[in-house]
Amino acid sequence: MCGIFGVYNNNNASKLTYLGLHALQHRGQEAVGIAVSNRYEINMKKAEGLVMQSLDEKSLNELKGDIAIGHVRYSTSGKSNPQNVQPFLSHFYKGSFAVAHNGNIVNADLIREELEKEGAIFYTTSDTEVFIHLIAKAKNTTDFGINLHPNDREFLPLLFSAMKKVKGAYSLLILRENQLIAVRDPFGFRPLVLGKNKQGSIFLASESCALDIVEAEYLRDLKAGEVLVIDGDGLRSYYPLGFVDKAYKCIFEYVYFSRPDSIIFQDYVYSIRKEMGRQLAREMPIDADVVVPVLDSGMLSAKGYSEESGIPLEIGLIRNHYIGRSFIQPIQEIRDLSVKLKLNPVRQVVEGKRIILIDDSLVRGTTAKKIVRMLRRAGAKEIHFLISSPPVVSPCVYGIDTPTKEELIASSKSVNEIKEYIGVDTLYYLSLEGMIKSAMNNKNKGFCTACFTGDYPVL
């Protein structure tokens, strides 16, 4: 769970990256970093915390240059500590480069062990550093059979060689003194979009909502397995690992993770999320008075359900947006404080009503249990809880932060047992087929559904 953003050819590169990262803040709140090239050297600022709180105008003014990459971090691999904050800047015999990574490399531990046995010293516990070592160590190889532009002959074979060894999910941005390079793994797990503004600056971002904030137009998604080089000679694409017919795009990006105002995997998150709610209504029609979303994540599927069923949508839970990262320890007498800080029922809406409560996903089940208790206390007559995705049964190994298998309620309990645990009148999960059908269009074929099925495309 991370967000990445890059700019080429703009003298306000650091400030635009700051704005782009702010738009991607939902993808990671732990730390932020920006690296900028002034065409001679790369400079960088990193800090723990939110974008707006961690980088000030002075820091951004010090980051002079017209090419930049940035990263917002939520740790899924490696500990949450200052060393692991990205981008990572490295210097080797062919110059300097900075890397920002979204995803998770599944064979990182193995590669790391091999490299350490050969004497490599790692400075972080992040899987991304493996990539850097592999690039620096690679011998210039010509066995890729790809005709490279002269500007690319020095660095790209090293990158291609690293890509050959690494398995898993990686959307990467690499900043060199005179180049910006974007990479999407051959399975295409994580999104990465390309944009351009009227002045001719080029942008890359995890989601298109970050292009909107800098007034850039969305051009296209990077393709699975694509390496895109941007420099003074233009844009060039290579496919060092060949074309892959079936990409494994993370369907959970559509279910929960991406912002609804984004286009990712060539489609609108908004319409897909709403379609999941419509599909839910087709699969599980219920006679009730109101549809209530668990804000914010259940909003669009609840809207879809309401439209399809004709049952009115009401905001029966209000969300407080001012929850700090650290708050006073819950007071023992107030059992549901952690949820109360975030959500509060509207008695007028729920009292005496038969409610269809909708959320996008059920992970541990702890939030839902507390919400249901609050709604019952506010007078709800019936609570029918519908989830716009199937049961989460397996942890994600490709970059979404999910708890261990033991903590996933659906990995050990049946739907009926979960229903009893949460204390609802009905519990229904969207079918796997229904979810895939809602997310699929003619262009975006192929999803990774490992968290719902346990079928991992690459391990």
- We find the least distance from the C-beta atom of residue 364 to ligand AMP, in angstroms, to be 3
336 binds ligand AMP (CB under 6 A): no
Q: Tell whether residue 363 is a contact of ligand AMP (CB under 6 A).
A: yes
What is residue 450's three-state secondary structure? helix
Strand partners, 221: 193
Taking CB under 6 A as the criterion, the residue among 81, 366, 411, 426 binding ligand AMP is 366
Residue 361 touches ligand AMP, criterion: CB under 6 A: yes
All residues at 6 or more sequence positions from 417 whose CB lies less than 8 Å from its CB, including other chains? none
> For the window 296-315, what string marks contact with ligand AMP as x by the rule CB under 6 A?
-x------------------
What is the DSSP annotation of 102-149?
EEEETTHHHHHHHHHHTT---S-S-THHHHHHHHHH-----TT-----
Nearer to ligand AMP, 227 or 368 (CB): 368
Phi and psi based region of residue 427 (left: phi greater than 0; alpha: psi -120 to 50; beta: remaining): beta
**Site for ligand AMP contains 2 (CB under 6 A):** no
Helix (H) or strand (E) holding 344: strand 343-345
How many residues bind ligand AMP (CB under 6 A)? The answer is 16
- Is residue 427 a contact point for ligand AMP (CB under 6 A)? no
CA-to-CA distance for 260 and 263, rounded, in angstroms? Answer: 8
Spatial distance between the Cα atoms of 422 and 419, rounded to a whole number of angstroms? 5
Phi first, then psi: give them for residue 259, nearest 5 degrees.
-75, 145
Smallest gap from residue 336 Cβ to ligand AMP (A): 12
- For position 368 contacting ligand AMP by CB under 6 A, the verdict is yes
Question: Nearest-CA neighbor of 396 among 130, 112, 1?
Answer: 1
Q: Which helix (H) or strand (E) holds 221?
A: strand 217-221
The reply to whether 194 sits near ligand AMP by the rule CB under 6 A is no
> What does the buried/exposed string (b/e) look like for 136-146 if buried means 16 or more CB atoms within 10 Å of the residue's CB?
bebeeeeebee
Q: Is 451 annotated as catalytic?
A: no
CB of 386 vs ligand AMP, minimal distance in Å: 13
Comparison of 285 and 454: residue with beta carbon closer to ligand AMP: 454
Among residues 340 and 381, whose Cβ is nearest to ligand AMP? 340
Does residue number 30 form part of the binding site for ligand AMP (CB under 6 A)?
no
Among the candidate windows 12-20, 50-58, 177-185, 400-408, which touches ligand AMP by CB under 6 A? 400-408
Of the residues 301, 367, 388, 394, which one makes contact with ligand AMP according to CB under 6 A? 367
Q: How far is the CB of 202 from ligand AMP (least distance, A)?
A: 31
Given a contact cutoff of 8 angstroms between Cβ atoms, the answer to whether 273 and 296 are in contact is: no
Which residues are marked as active site? Answer: 2
| Interacting residues toward ligand AMP by CB under 6 A | 256, 294, 297, 359-368, 400-402
